[in-house]
Amino acid sequence: MSDFSKIDSYLEKNMDKSVAELSRLVAQPSISAQGVGLKECAAMVADMLRARGFTAEVMDTDGAPVVFGERKGKADKTLIFYNHYDVQPPEPLELWDSPPFEPSLREGKLYGRGVSDDKSHITSRLFAIDALLDADDELPCNVKFIIEGEEETASVHLHEFILQNKDKLKADACIWEFGGVDHRDVPMQYLGLRGICYVELFVEKLSTDVHSGVGGSILENAAWRLVWALSTLKGPDEKILIPGFYDNLQPPSKRDRELMDALPDVAEEYTKRFGVKKFIKGLTGGTDLKMEEVFVPTCTICGLTSGYQGPGSKTVLPAKASAKVDFRLVPGQMPADIVRKLRAHLDAQGFEDVQIQFLGGEPAARTDPDDPFVRTVAKTSEEVYEFPMEIVPMIGGSGPNYPFVHDLGLPVATAGLGYPDTKAHAPNENIRLDLYLKHARHMARVLKEFAKS
Amino acid sequence: MSDFSKIDSYLEKNMDKSVAELSRLVAQPSISAQGVGLKECAAMVADMLRARGFTAEVMDTDGAPVVFGERKGKADKTLIFYNHYDVQPPEPLELWDSPPFEPSLREGKLYGRGVSDDKSHITSRLFAIDALLDADDELPCNVKFIIEGEEETASVHLHEFILQNKDKLKADACIWEFGGVDHRDVPMQYLGLRGICYVELFVEKLSTDVHSGVGGSILENAAWRLVWALSTLKGPDEKILIPGFYDNLQPPSKRDRELMDALPDVAEEYTKRFGVKKFIKGLTGGTDLKMEEVFVPTCTICGLTSGYQGPGSKTVLPAKASAKVDFRLVPGQMPADIVRKLRAHLDAQGFEDVQIQFLGGEPAARTDPDDPFVRTVAKTSEEVYEFPMEIVPMIGGSGPNYPFVHDLGLPVATAGLGYPDTKAHAPNENIRLDLYLKHARHMARVLKEFAKS
| Calpha distance A27→A101 (Å, rounded) | 5
B76's enclosing H/E stretch is strand B73-84
- Answer whether A304 sits within 8 Å of B302, measured CB to CB: no
Q: What is the pLDDT of residue A202?
A: 98
- Tell me which chain B residues have a C-beta less than 8 angstroms from the C-beta of A281: 218
Residue A161 domain-assigned? yes
Work out the average pLDDT over A415-420: 96
Contact A417, A431 (CB under 8 A): yes
**B112 alpha-carbon distance from chain centroid:** 18
C-alpha to C-alpha distances, B187 to A359, B178, B184, B444, B445, nearest whole angstrom: 52, 12, 9, 16, 15
Q: Are both B446 and B321 inside the same structural domain?
A: no
Q: Are both B165 and B215 inside the same structural domain?
A: no
| pLDDT level of residue B315 (50, 70, 90 thresholds) | confident
Chain segment A87-108, per-residue pLDDT in tens:
999 988 999 999 999 999 999 9
| Calpha distance B227→B233 (Å, rounded) | 10
- Answer whether A227 sits within 8 Å of B231, measured CB to CB: yes
| pLDDT level of residue B3 (50, 70, 90 thresholds) | confident
Chain segment B254-274, per-residue pLDDT in tens:
999 999 999 999 999 999 999
Q: Are both B355 and B380 inside the same structural domain?
A: no
- Tell me which chain B residues have a C-beta less than 8 angstroms from the C-beta of A328: 212-213, 216-217
Contact B392, B263 (CB under 8 A): yes
Q: Are both B12 and B144 inside the same structural domain?
A: yes
- Answer whether B236 sits within 8 Å of A350, measured CB to CB: yes
- Answer whether A306 sits within 8 Å of B301, measured CB to CB: yes
- Answer whether A217 sits within 8 Å of B292, measured CB to CB: yes
Q: What is the DSSP string of B198-266?
A: EEEEEEE-SSS-EEHHHHTTTB--HHHHHHHHHHTTB-TT--B-STTTTTT--PPPHHHHHHHHTSPP-
- Answer whether B210 sits within 8 Å of A396, measured CB to CB: no
Nearest to A278 among B220, B277, B359 (CB): B220
| Calpha distance A367→A181 (Å, rounded) | 19
Instruction: Name the H helices within A386-432.
Output: 402
Instruction: Please state the ipTM of this predicted complex.
Output: 0.90
Q: Which of A132, A112, A148 is nearest to A24 (CA)?
A: A112
Chain segment B139-195, per-residue pLDDT in tens:
999 999 999 999 998 898 999 999 999 999 999 999 999 999 998 999 999 999 999
B262 burial via Cβ count (<10 Å: 0-12, 13-18, 19+):
exposed
Residue B282 domain-assigned? no
- Answer whether B198 sits within 8 Å of A226, measured CB to CB: no
| Residues with Cβ within 8 Å of residue A118, at least 6 apart in sequence | A83, A84, A85, A87, A151, A177, A178
Q: Are both B6 and B83 inside the same structural domain?
A: yes
Q: How far is B248 from chain A (nearest CA, A)?
A: 19
Chain segment B65-77, per-residue pLDDT in tens:
999 999 999 999 9
Q: Which residue of B has its CA nearest to A279?
A: B219
- Answer whether B221 sits within 8 Å of A301, measured CB to CB: yes
Query: Which residues, in sequence order, are bridge partners of residue A357?
Result: A200
Q: What is the DSSP string of A193-213?
A: EEEEEEEEEEEE-SSS-EEHH
- Answer whether A212 sits within 8 Å of B302, measured CB to CB: yes
Residue A270 domain-assigned? no
Nearest to A307 among B198, B280, B302 (CB): B302
Chain segment A251-281, per-residue pLDDT in tens:
999 999 999 999 999 999 999 999 999 999 9
- Answer whether A300 sits within 8 Å of B153, measured CB to CB: no
Q: Which of A58, A237, A24 is nearest to A146 (CA)?
A: A58
Mutate to test the interface with B, among A201, A208, A226, A227 (most CBs of B within 10 A): A227
Contact A176, A366 (CB under 8 A): no
Q: What is the pLDDT of residue A358?
A: 95
Here the CATH number for the domain that contains residue B166 is: 3.40.630.10
Percentage of residues of chain A with pLDDT beyond 70: 100
- Tell me which chain A residues have a C-beta less than 8 angstroms from the C-beta of B190: none
Average pLDDT over chain B, rounded to an integer: 96
Mutate to test the interface with A, among B231, B273, B301, B352 (most CBs of A within 10 A): B301
Query: Which residues, in sequence order, are bridge partners of residue B87?
Result: B31
Q: Are both B302 and B424 inside the same structural domain?
A: no
- Answer whether B231 sits within 8 Å of A226, measured CB to CB: no
Q: Are both B47 and B14 inside the same structural domain?
A: yes
- Tell me which chain A residues have a C-beta less than 8 angstroms from the C-beta of B307: 301-304, 324
- Answer whether B218 sits within 8 Å of A280, measured CB to CB: yes
**Residue where one domain finishes, among candidates B325, B342, B362:** B362
Residue B268 domain-assigned? no
Q: What is the DSSP string of B312-330?
A: S---EE-SEEEEEEEEEE-
Return the number of other C-beta atoms located less than 10 Å from residue B55's C-beta. Answer: 13
Residue A89 domain-assigned? yes
| Calpha distance B56→B50 (Å, rounded) | 6
Q: What is the pLDDT of residue B312?
A: 84
Residue A442 has phi, psi (to 5 degrees) of -65, -45
Q: Which residue of A has its CA nearest to B296?
A: A217
Q: Is the pLDDT of residue A416 over 80?
A: yes
- Tell me which chain B residues have a C-beta less than 8 angstroms from the C-beta of A200: 313
Residue B276 domain-assigned? no
Nearest to B307 among A206, A216, A303 (CB): A303
Q: Are both A186 and A198 inside the same structural domain?
A: no
| Calpha distance A33→A149 (Å, rounded) | 10
- Tell me which chain A residues have a C-beta less than 8 angstroms from the C-beta of B227: 227, 230-231, 301, 304
- Answer whether B318 sits within 8 Å of A301, measured CB to CB: yes
Residue B307 domain-assigned? yes
Residue B137 domain-assigned? yes
Q: Which residue of B has its CA nearest to A34?
A: B311
Number of domains in chain A: 2
- Answer whether A279 sits within 8 Å of B307, measured CB to CB: no
Q: Is the pLDDT of residue B219 over 60?
A: yes
Strand-strand pairing, A139-148 and A73-84: parallel
- Answer whether B224 sits within 8 Å of A301, measured CB to CB: yes
Q: What is the pLDDT of residue A183?
A: 86
Q: Is the pLDDT of residue B1 over 80?
A: no
CA angle A209, A212, A214 (to 5 degrees): 100
- Tell me which chain A residues have a C-beta less than 8 angstroms from the C-beta of B318: 301-304
Q: What is the pLDDT of residue A92?
A: 84
Here the CATH number for the domain that contains residue B339 is: 3.30.70.360
Work out the average pLDDT over B37-52: 98
Average pLDDT over chain A, rounded to an integer: 96
Q: Are both A166 and A61 inside the same structural domain?
A: yes
Q: How far is B40 from chain A (nearest CA, A)?
A: 24
- Answer whether B304 sits within 8 Å of A303, measured CB to CB: no
Q: How far is B403 from chain A (nearest CA, A)?
A: 20
Enter the pTM of the model.
Answer: 0.90
| pLDDT level of residue B2 (50, 70, 90 thresholds) | very low
| Calpha distance A308→B180 (Å, rounded) | 27
Q: Is the pLDDT of residue A70 over 80?
A: yes
Q: Are both A129 and A7 inside the same structural domain?
A: yes
**Residue where one domain finishes, among candidates A316, A345, A362:** A362
**A319 alpha-carbon distance from chain centroid:** 36
**Residue where one domain finishes, among candidates A341, A362, A383:** A362
| Calpha distance B221→B216 (Å, rounded) | 8
Chain segment B110-122, per-residue pLDDT in tens:
999 999 999 999 9
Q: Are both B354 and B220 inside the same structural domain?
A: yes
Residue B83 has phi, psi (to 5 degrees) of -140, 175
Q: What is the pLDDT of residue A396?
A: 93
Q: Are both B352 and B336 inside the same structural domain?
A: yes
Contact B396, B293 (CB under 8 A): yes
| pLDDT level of residue A313 (50, 70, 90 thresholds) | confident
Torsion of CA A157, A160, A165, A166, to 10 degrees: 130
Q: What is the DSSP string of A12-71?
A: HHTHHHHHHHHHHHHHS--BGGGTBSHHHHHHHHHHHHHTTT-EEEEE--SSS-EEEEEE
Q: What is the pLDDT of residue A200?
A: 98
CB pairs under 8 A between A and B: 267
Domain range for B425: 2-191+367-452
